Structure 1
Amino acid sequence: MSGFVFSEKPIEIARGEDVWLYDTNGNEYLDFGASYACTPVGHCHPDVVDAATSQLEDLMYVQASYPHAARTALYEQLADTAPVDVDNVWLCNSGTEANEAALKFARHATGREKIIATKQGFHGRTMGALATTWKGKYKQGFEPLAGGVEFVDYGDIDAMREAVDDETAAVIIEPLQGEGGINPVSTEYLQAVRVATATSGAAMILDEIQTGLGRTGSMWAADGHDVVPDVLTTAKGLGSGLPIGATLCRDWIAENCGNHGSTFSGGPVVSAAAGATLDVLEREELPAHAAEMGTYLREEIDERLGDEIREVRGDGLMIGIEVKRGSNRLLRELAIEHGILALPAGRTVLRLLPPLTIDRDHADAVVDAIEEVIA
């Protein structure tokens, strides 16, 4: 008997520390994928380990209708860090669940059905979140999905304005597309989405599952674009690898969100880990460090690889390198020959999502290796 769904890589990971992973043979890997941005403060940060371990010894689990100090503290931390007025928090176990809740809340609060999503966007794999995910390969064999979803071109202001009307419950959008290929948009575009939704009475759902928690150079990508959504979703790095997600809402959504719940909403252990993660992000000023290191990485890649690649793009430490041939072979060579782990974002994009704790030596090592495998 073996696992299924995931295709296993030929590297069995045994342990991790900060930006490094180690396999069962003792080989060392510089982790520039962070398992899709799940370890923003590095692997096994001692503060996060201590918080989770201490909570584990006292109480592993109690259902969310019973108040618990770790969960209550996390509610307050998330509300304090979120964009202004987006301060009602619902906790869950993943980004997909956070987006699923956001869609449900928006439909119930508005009494409308229509959802606007963007082409190349990715919002999850459960039936509702999957309905707002663009690529057909994720949906194949699972249809029919939730109805009422309309897709528009990402970054096209006119298309968005035309699509959003008085039948629209919500627009769900990533401030920087991840799975779609690390595709950025302008502040003008996101602010136009904000105006269109506010004018029509629809909710703006900002999917910050991958962009949040300092990844793009500010605590939330919304901050960098001066946009305040009605709903903001987060997950991935929130628990430093432990499974947790959150849906943050303005009052008008939270006050009429409908009947929703989850057995494992805000468990004590994951809440403690998430609280410690937020503490480290703030204390070590990792969002600002991500902005500095991201600029350095993109400049080095552009200067040294400019003629060998099509484009380098992204914000902070969410970087996509569009190459001139398939990315999977390059990823294999980076891992096997250079001990560097990265990710794809489509067939021709190398995606870099390292822990926000990397330094220039780590960045230089990665650029050296990419230069060699491309050459």
Structure 2
Amino acid sequence: MSDTQTIIETESTHFMNTYGRFPIVLDHGEGCLLYDLDQNEYLDLNSGIGVNCLGHNHPALVKAIANQAGTLMQASNLYYTKPLVDAGQKLVKLSGLKKVFFANSGAEANEGVIKTARKYSIDTYGDPKRVQIITLNNSFHGRTIATLEATGQDKFHQNFYPFTAGFKYVDANDLAAMEDAMDDTVCAVLMELVQGESGVRPLDAGYVKAVEALCKEKDILLIIDEIQTGVGRTGTFFSYEQYGIQPDLVSCAKGLGGGVPTGAFLAGEKAADILQPGDHGTTFGGNALAMAAANVVLDQVGDPAFLADVKRKGDKFMQAISAIDSDHIQDVRGMGLMIGIEVGPEAIADDLAKLREKGLLALKAGAGTIRLLPPLIISDEQIDQAVNVMKEVLA
């Protein structure tokens, strides 16, 4: 039995059956390339589901992590560390918001914005009923009990009862429905500006601006979930910059640590001082190892020239895919290097398998969308390589 078969069979024996893993045992990576135990090479177009924004084995990232591991990895939030303070200062500056809290994941970041929004409402209005949060149908906000309920998809609202109350849902881009839902029980609106898990669907810019105006009028906090869209993924550091809005709260994660688990949420003027000692906390959030990695990411991805190149490469990639002569491709959409290729639910599994056989690793989103989240350092030559393979498979 090969090492690959042994590992796959051992996993099936000892691990809970929660993932539909592809039959590949990855061994190492370099830049945008991954290699399995049999030394097959793959062009990575999913970057660990949007996490490895600087690719694999990035020299500055590896050096920073190794150096930090040799001095201090974890001190708890009872003490200060320089990597933590440096990363927080950089993230606040890039966001245009006021203050930050570091967590461990996107779901935890969303838990934090939910708690902050509700406490803002209670502190300001003293009304225990003014705690509802509006989210959008087809959204995805995490897998904790609260963030599952925040997710506007019925398939996630099963099996784990009772869920946390306090959420209601409206259709994306339906401004009348949003305004109707904004009654005196609502404290916040939580939105992804590109709905990633349901098929890479950007919201209409006019709708987003109008929602921002309604929130300001009614003193309802506007929360933007940037877990998948943030840290340069869409060609600006946060996607809300391209919509011309300024949220009250923002959550982010995925690419923030370049592969080391970390998340964060940021607050603007209204909510910056809502959480006080004892209101919120975490053991591992902001640990020195994760912050050493985050500092490298923030320095590189936060560079305007780097972000402009992400936008250029994203435009090139989408235009090239759109130009493929194929009745099979129903739509191409996205922002920056977050791209969805609609092929339909009947074709998606076969298409992903064929791409994988030809050395391209991509993801599924929604019922029938191929989702591309390559490392932000992907080269023009690698984009051309990917498009040529897609021409063979999708045409």
Instruction: State the TM-score, normalized to the length of structure 1.
Output: 0.96
CA distance in 1 between counterparts of 2:303 and 2:268 reads: 27
Separation in 2, partners of 1:306, 1:153: 31
Kept in 2: contact 1:110–1:201 (CA 8 A): no
1:185-241, CA deviations, whole angstroms, 9 ceiling, x for partnerless residues? Answer: 122111111111111111111000000111111111011111100001100000011
Please say which structure displays the higher CA radius of gyration.
2
Please say if residues 328 and 347 of structure 1, whose CA atoms lie closer than 8 Å, have aligned partners that are also in contact: no
In structure 2, do the counterparts of structure 1 residues 248 and 305 end up closer, same or farther at CA, with 3 Å as the change threshold? farther
Structure 2 counterpart of 1:14, one-letter code: D
Opposite residue 265 of structure 1, the aligned amino acid is G
Matching residue of 2:53:
40
Q: Which residue of 1 aligns with 2:116?
A: 105
Instruction: Indicate the SS of the match to 1:21.
Output: strand
Q: Counterpart in 1 of 2:87?
A: 74
- Cα distance in structure 1, aligned partners of 2:274 and 2:304: 38
Q: Does 1:192 align with 2:210?
A: yes
Task: Report the identity percentage.
Answer: 37
Equivalence for 1:55: 68
How far apart are residue 87 of structure 1 and its match?
A: 2.2
- Which residue pairs with 2:349 in the alignment? 328
Q: Any conservation in 2 of the 1:33–1:353 contact (CA below 8 Å)? A: yes
Aligned to 1:351: 371
Residue number in structure 2 paired with 1:3: 15
Structure 1 regions of 5+ residues with no counterpart?
A: none
Contact 1:106 1:257 in 2 (8 A): no
Of the candidates 101, 107, 130, which is equivalent to residue 96 of structure 1? 107
Residue type matched to 2:55 in 1? G
SS of 2:43's equivalent in the other structure is strand
Count of residue correspondences: 372
Change (3 A) 1:369 1:60: same
SS in 2 for 1:269: helix
Provide the aligned C-alpha RMSD in A.
1.4
Say if 2:350 is the partner of 1:299: no
After TM superposition, the structure 1 = structure 2 runs for residues 55-204 of structure 1, keeping only pairs within 5 Å, are 55-82=68-95, 84=96, 86-111=97-122, 112-204=130-222
| Aligned twin of 1:23 | 36
Is the Cα–Cα contact under 8 Å of residues 38 and 240 in structure 1 kept in the other structure? yes
Give unpaired runs (5+ residues) of structure 2: 1-12, 123-129
Q: Is the 8 A contact 1:166 1:202 kept in 2?
A: no
**One-letter amino acid of the structure 2 residue matched with residue 286 of structure 1:** F
Q: Which whole-Å CA distance do the structure 1 matches of 2:303 and 2:120 have between them?
A: 37
* Superposition TM-score, scaled by structure 2 size: 0.91
Higher mean alpha-carbon deviation, 51-60 vs 322-331, is at 322-331
Query: What is residue 205 of structure 1 aligned with on the other side?
Result: 223
1:223 to 210, 232, 241: 241
Q: Is the 8 A contact 1:197 1:204 kept in 2?
A: yes
**In structure 1, how many angstroms separate the alpha carbons of the residues matched to 2:90 and 2:162?**
39
Amino acid at match of 1:329: D
Instruction: Go from structure 1 to structure 2 and tell me whether the alpha carbon gap of 1:161 and 1:74 turns closer, same or farther (over 3 Å shift).
Output: same
How far apart are the structure 2 equivalents of 1:140 and 1:373? Answer: 36
How many Å separate the matches in 2 of 1:29 and 1:273?
25
Alpha carbons 2:132, 2:186 under 8 Å: kept = yes
Equivalent residue letter for 1:45: H
Q: CA deviation at 1:283?
A: 4.3
8 Å CA contact 2:106–2:263 kept in 1: the answer is yes
Say which of 320, 325, 330 aligns to 1:310: 330
